[in-house]
Amino acid sequence: MTAPTAAPASTSVTARRLWIRTRGLLLALAVLAAAGIALAALRSNSQHGSLDPRSADQYGSRAVAQLLKAQGVSTHVVTTLDEATAATGPDTTLLITVPDLLTEAQQRQLRAATTDSGGRTVLIAPGSPSLGILAPGVRAESPVSVKPRDPGCAQPAATRAGRADTGGIRYAAPDETGDGCYPADGLPTLLRTAPHRQGDTVLLGAPDILLNHRLDKEGNASLALQLLGTRPHVVWYLPSLGDVSATDGGQRSFFDLIPSGWRWATLQLALAAALAAIWRARRLGPLVTEQLPVAIRASEATEGRARLYRKANARDRAAETLRSATRSRLAPLVGVTASAAHSPEVLVPAVSARLPAAGRDPLSLLFGPTPADDAALVRLADELDALEREVRTS
């Protein structure tokens, strides 16, 4: 009586096995996702509504808007360039929160609209990207920390406000075109350009006096009201990347939108990847003979190659292989060198001289056309064998 054979172990992937294999990876992904969500939640409100007169968080400017309203000054928020330029006028103060975010075309359009408007334009922390157009002749110097500073000038707005939290970007302008206050290291952090047709431009190096959590410090509230309350209307311009005018008429390419720092970083990463590839590349030395684990008979290799030719329907390649091998074997038998073995002008006359007068046609056999079918290919092989035997026995 034979013993019962054990059932083979199942190799199929079950749900339990799949869970055991992937639970570590899934746990790591869950921890990473939770950390990302927590970090995003913690930082989502840090700068929410920055300089927005509708925002009541610490970085918003709703308190300034309420003080202006109490003084009879209206505040109108706009987010597109067309709205900002359409609202300019002699009774309007245009406040631009992020002038450096504007494209060159937007800056030129804004400058053209405000130059002859007769109103006031207030630029918050403008830098080199915008000063050349919005405030010609003014240069941006290295920034300083924001802290309480004395006016250090004779501007009525500054003298009435007194000390205020100023700093940030410092500005340098010719004496005849600017009136600076709140100096830091010899350069003003608040600059008012010379009036043009009853209008002027004010450059503020830092936005701190407009923020809700800084408004009750020093003379910040007074200075904000002095700068923004000179006219009955304030147009509060919050530049947006979704503004259609930011496309510059569709002339900017994809690469123009990529900051230059990212381009250099990409170049450095590509260089590092190339160096790593060179370092880790395999060094190919001389060929080393290796003992095959299994000896394969020549007949099996020949049969395998023949099957490949048949599967690919490559009768031309098979016929040429047969003819080339026959020519190579016949050449030394008829006194032809190996270099001339595949030349019909040399090989065919030498072979014909070794055959009977009514023998085979060596030209069609050794250099003829491709067989039309498999049967013709078999006949060609037989005739080549017969031709070689006749030459050997002649």
How sure is the predictor about 1, in pLDDT bands with cuts at 50, 70 and 90? Answer: very low
Region 383-394: mean pLDDT is: 88
CA angle 295, 300, 305 (to 5 degrees): 120
Residue 284's pLDDT is: 67
Q: Encode 78-101: b = buried (16+ Cβ within 10 Å), e = exposed.
A: bebbeebbebbbeebbbbbbbbbb
Region 136-159: mean pLDDT is: 90
Q: Find, among 213, 15, 231, the residue nearest to 118 by Cα.
A: 231
How sure is the predictor about 261, in pLDDT bands with cuts at 50, 70 and 90? Answer: confident
Is the pLDDT at 77 greater than 90? The verdict is yes
**DSSP-derived 3-state class of residue 393:** helix
| CB neighbour list of residue 379: distance below 8 Å, 6 or more residues apart | 371
Q: Find, among 148, 168, 167, the residue nearest to 219 by Cα.
A: 148
- For the chain, the distance separating the N- and C-terminal CA atoms, rounded to the nearest angstrom, is 71
Per the structure block, which two tokens stand in for 325?
């091998």
Q: What are the angstrom distances between the C-alpha of 51 and each of 98, 268, 376?
A: 9, 37, 90
Phi and psi (nearest 5°) for 238? -105, 95
**DSSP-derived 3-state class of residue 243:** coil
Residue 177's pLDDT is: 57
How sure is the predictor about 8, in pLDDT bands with cuts at 50, 70 and 90? Answer: very low
Encode pLDDT of 300-313 as tens digits: 888 888 888 888 88
Encode pLDDT of 205-238 as tens digits: 999 999 999 998 999 999 999 999 989 999 999 9
Is the pLDDT at 48 greater than 80? The verdict is no
Cα 270 to Cα 42: distance, rounded to the nearest angstrom: 34
